[in-house]
Amino acid sequence: MEPRGPFTSFLDVYEYLSSDLIECLECGRRFHLLNPHLRKAHGMTCDEYRELYNLPVTAPLAGRLFRQKQSDKMRYLISIGVVTHDHLASASLKSKSAIHRKRRDYDLAEQAQRLISYRRKYGWDKVKNK
C-alpha cells in the first residue's frame, strides 16, 4: 500500500475514523488502538502522527469498535458509582490554563463556510456594525 498524504477535508478524516479498525497510514496495517503500534513500530508519538497526516488534535487514534466498547464501559462504571464527576471543577481550571494547539486548515475552512451559511440564513449579513 502506498502511504496516504495529509488529510485535506473533514469528510476524509470522518471516513478514516469511521471504520471498525483504524489503519496506520505509515504501513497500512489495521488496529483497534493505534497508539502502541506507532510508538513501537514507527517510533513516533500520537501528536507527531496527527501533525504528519494533518489530523485534528481531537481525532481518536482508535477504531470505532474500540471507542464504542470503552464508551459502554464508562457508562456502566458511572451507573454503578465507581466513576464520579467530582474532579470536573479542578479539571476545568486546568483546561482553561492549558496551551491549546492550532486548528487544522480544513476545520477553519468548514467553520468559515458554516458562518457564511448562518449569516445568510438568519440575515446577519444585512446587519451593519455601528
Torsion of Cα atoms, 44 then 66 then 21 then 52, to 10°? -30
Pick the CATH number of 10-122 from 1.10.10.1550, 3.40.50.300, 1.20.1730.10, 1.10.10.10: 1.10.10.1550
Question: Coil, helix or strand for 33?
Answer: strand
Quick: pLDDT tens for 9-43: 888 899 999 999 999 999 999 999 999 999 999 99
HEC secondary structure over 80-97: CCCCCCCCHHHHHHHHHH
User: Residue 2 above 60 pLDDT?
Assistant: no
- Identify the residue with better confidence: 102 or 127: 102
CA–CA distance, 128 with 112 (Å, rounded to integer): 19
Question: What is the pLDDT confidence band of residue 6, given thresholds at 50, 70 and 90?
Answer: confident
User: Residue 1 above 50 pLDDT?
Assistant: no
Cα→Cα distances 47→37, 59, 60, Å: 14, 10, 11
